[in-house]
Amino acid sequence: MIEKKLFLLKDVSFSYNEKNVLKKIDLEIDECDFTGIIGPNGSGKSTLLRIISGYLTPKKGYVLYKGRDIRDYFIRDLAKEIAVLPQSIEIFNPYKIEDFIGIGTYPYMKWNVFKKGYEDDFIKYIMEIMEISHLKGRRITELSLGEKQRVLIAQCIAQNPKVLILDEPVSHFDIKYQMRTLEILEGFNKDGMTIIVVLHDLNLASEFCKKIVLISEGTVYKEGSPHDVLTYKNIEDVYKTVVVVKENPISKKPYIIPISKRYIKTT
């Protein structure tokens, strides 16, 4: 039997100084999952991503990647497996776009020398996939937030990872590029890449994620398919707002409609 379990988090807790951020998290992520992590601001989503990717060490509990403690991996070996895009990155050097994306191939460099000829074709291919070929030669410091975000995602893909971990990757995009970017990620997922993504838009999470993890006050409130997690009761309990949940007539996935207080009668 082939082992599908990629990540195992057991009894994971974490705190910044005296503030408990994550509390006794138990979570499994299988190979080829497209997992969406949702929850209110301050619920611990970004911290959870940092724990999963090995950037942070739990105060209690442990994280296994492929059955091995993630802390036991060499950084370069882990970088060949996992690419991570945090919520925000400050970039001060005016890299050309293609050079910046090429930095993503660093785990495969030997003595800081790229494989001759390979990286140019590979980077060109990634830029075409991310629909940013027209940005070639531009400086990353000249780009809009949305353009820069697409370049950052391209750099992660250049790592050729087995797992892609992204924190709010479409927050700077208009609706066209939100959909297009998630469609691209879905394509990589179908080809075998495991995707773990924090999303604020519940409808995007519903449409693209196979599995959803709903975080509330540092704990896993509910996990499962979009139909299991995105119920009006779960959303209202965690987000403290009134919603109506319908079925998307095309995809048959849950579709969430927030309701303004002015339409709610009080007695």
Q: Using 50, 70 and 90 to split pLDDT, how confident is the model at 17?
A: confident
Residue 115 forms part of a structural domain: yes
**pLDDT the model gives residue 124:** 93
d(CA 86, CA 95): 19
Domains in the chain, number = 1
Residue 109 forms part of a structural domain: yes
Residue 137 forms part of a structural domain: yes
Print the domain residue range for 29.
5-223
**Dmax over Cα atoms in the chain, in whole Å?**
73
List of E strands, 123-193: 163-167
Residue 72 forms part of a structural domain: yes
Residue 174 forms part of a structural domain: yes
d(CA 48, CA 192): 23
Residues 44-69: pLDDT tens digits?
999 999 999 999 999 999 999 999 99
Helix (H, G, I), strand (E, B) or coil at 40: coil
Tokens of 141: 């410091």
| Domain CATH code at residue 185 | 3.40.50.300
Residue 92 forms part of a structural domain: yes
Residues 195-223: pLDDT tens digits?
999 999 999 999 999 999 999 999 999 99
Residues 151-182: pLDDT tens digits?
999 999 999 999 999 999 999 899 999 999 99
Residue 242 forms part of a structural domain: no
Full-model pTM:
0.93
Cβ 189 vs Cβ 34: under 8 Å: yes
**pLDDT the model gives residue 118:** 56
Pairing of strands 82-85, 194-198: unpaired
Residue 41 forms part of a structural domain: yes
Cβ 222 vs Cβ 27: under 8 Å: no
